[in-house]
Amino acid sequence: MHRAQEKGLVEIHIHNLRDYAYNKHRQIDDKPFGGRAGMVLKPEPFFECIEKLTSERKYDTIIYPSPRGKLFTQQDANGCLTDKYFIYHRAL
């Protein structure tokens, strides 16, 4: 990715999900349903961010990784090479 950026082949934009949270503390995580230990990410900030981005331009591909989803392989990445605009949305 770094080499592609240096060559001007790709632009990477990172968006802060807290900018899309609407509570007092800009919180993007919450306690899991059922009171179990740990925290889970709220879906609202993700969807707000995607809605804003898609309102600004059309994207060829939007990828939402999920623990239950399909593995993102090199073949999938190669398929994105022809896309001018795509979103790979992941939580850090």
Confidence of residue 90 (pLDDT cuts 50, 70, 90): low
Q: Are 80 and 72 in contact (CB under 8 A)?
A: no
1 or 39: which leads in pLDDT? 39
Tokens 């600004």 locate to 56
C-alpha 4: how far from chain center: 20
Confidence of residue 5 (pLDDT cuts 50, 70, 90): confident
Quick check: 91 pLDDT over 70? no
Give the whole-angstrom CA distance, residue 59 versus residue 83: 8
Half-sphere exposure of 2 (CA within 13 A, CB side): 0
11 or 1: which leads in pLDDT? 11
Strand locations in 1-92 (E): 29-30, 40-41, 61-63, 86-88
pLDDT tens across 29-82, in order?
888 877 778 888 888 998 999 999 999 999 898 887 777 888 888 998 888 888
